[in-house]
Structure 1
Amino acid sequence: MPTSLRRAPQAHPEDSLPGVVTRTFTTTGDLDYWASVRHAESAARVAEELATLVRTGRAAVAREPLAHAVELLLSTLDHADDASGALDNLLNRLLATHAEACRQALPDPVDLADWLVTVQFDTGRWCPVDIWAYGPALGPGGLDHYRAAVRRRWAADPGDLSARDAVERLARWERDTTTLIEVIGGDLKHAAQYGRLARALADIGDPVAARSWAERGLAAHPDDPPGAGLHDFLSRTPL
């Protein structure tokens, strides 16, 4: 049949979407490699239906089902062989679509901040969130609430990599030089820490501070061991 005559996939009624998401994204038991791939393919069809709603001005309808889909998929990833990356790719698509839905149909900013903290820290699996995508929906009040929450997590356990990542992502987005120095530099025992800090400061548009920390790194580690790249960084970063 010619492509133009094929029937478009039937969309679910909007009021049925919460149930559709629950049925589609809920799994039981362990998923092996191929079961994970099949689940990703099946769930992707519903994810695309939700994305279509967002693209066509019905973000308010899709926002909560998207959030629930993220939560269920994180639960599935805890017991799935996702060596193909299919489930992880689907998770990233859902998060990007959910962020767009939140920008179009603003939720309560504190509720959104709490949800972001939950999916990053309380689902049993590390789920990095691109805070820049959610920042416009959070607004000043939501960002303050989110910042306080992730910093509390990091203060309670400085070795928690998920908390450190959340603090660093927020600092990068807010161009917060002081926090970047704190979270990336840390104890500055190793040359690589200086190199990573210098590159992060350059990324947020602070080349003066970036060069300063690279120079400090070279003073402390004149051999510039592999992985630090301090000489190379200074040669590529103008005064």
Structure 2
Amino acid sequence: MGGLTEANLKMLAGSRSFERGRGYLDAVFGVEVGDGWVTASVHGTERYEVELTTDGPGGLSGECDCPYGLEGNFCKHLVALGLTVLARPESLPRQRKAARDRAQDLDGWLSALSKDELLALLREQIGEDRQLRRRLELRAASARGDLAAVRARIRDLLDIGPFAQYGYVEYTDARAYADQARQAVSAIGALTGSGRAADAITLVREAMRLLAEAVESVDDSDGWLGQIGADLADAHLDACRAAHPDPGELARWLAGHALGDIDGGLTDIDPLDYEDVLDEEGMAVLRKLAVEAWQGNRRGWAEKYLMERLAKADCDVDALIAVHAADLSPNGHTHLVIARELDTARRPDEALRWAERGVREAQDLAAVDTALVDYLCDRYQADRLADAVALRRNHFRARRTLFAYQQLRAAAGAADCWPSERDGALALLRADARRRQQGWYGGPVLVDALLDDKDVDAAWQAAADSDAHDQQWLTLADQARVARPADALGVYQRLAEPLTKRTGNAVYEQLVSLLLSIRDCHRRLGSIEEFTGYVTALRTVQKRKRNLMRLMDKHDL
């Protein structure tokens, strides 16, 4: 088991899960070592089944049925199992050899049994294992062509009754229900494999409907039923490819499934996956039905999606544009989608016209899709710099944010007209500051813009004249500390004062950072003795905060 090392466990799990896994070593029970795998039960919030694959093609891997593990993560329970196995290195080779020997012995024993003995053994297992009995009953019904019996068994398998309390399957029972429902998929696949594909088509469609009804009453947080829905979709496609059903009938069913939201998207069937089964006749029917549905409801999501898929499959850009153009979003996003489709089709002039139309028709330039503005400005960069500046200017006037200011600066800089544009932009931001209009992070955007321009003196004055945010003052102090250490010192001390009345490691880190800046200001001012007195007094008052004291010691404060 060369892949099973402590280093690999830590790499796969990450430091946090690895350390947490160490705490579960006493919770690992029933370890079974096989040839290239190890299984066990780990008792956490619940009992979880864990399996490590040690010699797989991708190296060490693992599966656990805890919620974190079901998301595909290498969890703490897998770490606990791996560390448990590593703690017994002397027994691993012996256990692996014993596992191989057991498998060979079992195969040899079964091979030596007579038919009657095998039947007796199988009947014994059927009597003890309900799941095995159900699987074999389905196979028997399929083999004798008893469609009614197969349908009845599939209905039983998809019935939530045995797992539901008060009509609902709780999270703890969802996997057991999913395991039972998965047998229905296997039965349908067996029908197709035995030459009964036409019957499989009938049953898989019924199973889709039953599963869609069941999912409304199951806590499927881990997505088990979603996977079964995907498996049913695959089973339906396999059955259709084997049975070659009537293309027109199949097209009508696929259109109804796509447009009617029969199963809430649980099976996620794409009609274009059936193109080889539908042939030209079926595809023509599918297109006709899709167009009729779309013309009846041009804003319907399902109708638009099906039309888009068909148009893309046919490489029909004009049809695709017509679908998008029938439902244009007011923020210009749909215009951008159309422009990009036209670019892909190498029709750049039409793409530009659609993008410009999107900005022109936007109901609110402040809410326009910024990606559309970026697209147009990129197009203008080649030979229409003045248009790029005008668009950035209008966009900035509509939404006076730091980012819009930065975009205007970049465009005006490329057009060599930033000084005049800057004056106009700052005038708007000064008016906003006088009205106490704040930016996204608090405080006037004017201060942020001036800081971004590295105009520290103007930013300091703007902050003093308006209701600047503490974060803006901190940035100002950091940028001004070399040239204006006394002013910066006042800011740092003001920001530090409220932190001394709070607790918590995050607070202590902020306070120590400010103290380091305060010390730097005193050094620049030649008043380090004053800082020493300040810190001594602070330590006296804060001495009960041991984590703060340790952090201050670490930084020689």
Q: TM-score, normalised by structure 1?
A: 0.75
Q: Which residue of 2 aligns with 1:24?
A: 157
Q: Is the 8 A contact 1:30 1:79 kept in 2?
A: yes
Q: Which residue of 2 aligns with 1:113?
A: 251
Q: Is the 8 A contact 1:113 1:146 kept in 2?
A: yes
Say which of 347, 356, 373 aligns to 1:219: 356
Q: Is the 8 A contact 2:208 2:229 kept in 1?
A: yes
* Equivalent AA in structure 2 for residue 197 of structure 1: I
* Equivalent AA in structure 2 for residue 105 of structure 1: A
Q: CA offsets, 1:92-141, max 9 Å, x none?
A: 22112211221221112222223223333063634643112122222222
Q: Does the C-alpha gap of structure 1 residues 181 and 68 become closer, same or farther in structure 2, counting only changes over 3 Å? A: same
Q: Which residue of 2 aligns with 1:70?
A: 208
Identify the range of structure 1 (102-111 vs 117-126) with the bigger mean alpha-carbon deviation: 117-126
Say which of 322, 326, 329 aligns to 1:186: 326
Say which of 146, 167, 185 aligns to 1:47: 185
Q: Distance in 2 between matches of 1:35 and 1:67?
A: 25
Q: Distance in 1 between matches of 2:292 and 2:351?
A: 29
* Cα drift, residue 24 of structure 1: 1.3
Q: Is the 8 A contact 1:194 1:213 kept in 2?
A: no
* Equivalent AA in structure 1 for residue 103 of structure 2: P
* Equivalent AA in structure 2 for residue 96 of structure 1: D
In the alignment, does 2:162 pair up with 1:162? Answer: no
Q: Does the C-alpha gap of structure 1 residues 201 and 187 become closer, same or farther in structure 2, counting only changes over 3 Å? A: same
Q: Distance in 1 between matches of 2:337 and 2:377?
A: 12
In the alignment, does 2:334 pair up with 1:197? Answer: no
* Cα drift, residue 90 of structure 1: 1.5
Q: Is the 8 A contact 1:96 1:133 kept in 2?
A: no
Q: Which residue of 2 aligns with 1:144?
A: 284
Q: Does the C-alpha gap of structure 1 residues 230 and 82 become closer, same or farther in structure 2, counting only changes over 3 Å? A: farther
| Larger RCO (CA within 8 A; separation ≥ 6) | 1
* Equivalent AA in structure 2 for residue 191 of structure 1: G
Identify the range of structure 1 (67-76 vs 31-40) with the bigger mean alpha-carbon deviation: 31-40
Q: Does the C-alpha gap of structure 1 residues 45 and 155 become closer, same or farther in structure 2, counting only changes over 3 Å? A: same
Say which of 225, 229, 244 aligns to 1:87: 225
Structure 1 unaligned blocks of 5 or more: 235-239
| 1:44 match: secondary structure | helix
More strand by share: 2
| 1:129 match: secondary structure | coil
Q: Does the C-alpha gap of structure 1 residues 46 and 157 become closer, same or farther in structure 2, counting only changes over 3 Å? A: same
Where do 1:96-107 residues align within 5 Å? 96-107=234-245
Identify the range of structure 1 (114-123 vs 193-202) with the bigger mean alpha-carbon deviation: 193-202
* Cα drift, residue 55 of structure 1: 5.8
Count of residue pairs the alignment pairs up:
230
Structure 2 unaligned blocks of 5 or more: 1-101, 111-121, 123-131, 162-166, 380-557
Q: Which residue of 1 aligns with 2:127?
A: none
| RMSD across aligned positions (CA) | 3.6
Q: Which has the larger radius of gyration?
A: 2
* Equivalent AA in structure 1 for residue 337 of structure 2: R
* Cα drift, residue 199 of structure 1: 5.0
* % same residue: 23
* Cα drift, residue 82 of structure 1: 2.9
* Cα drift, residue 165 of structure 1: 1.9
* Equivalent AA in structure 2 for residue 215 of structure 1: L
In the alignment, does 2:139 pair up with 1:2? Answer: no
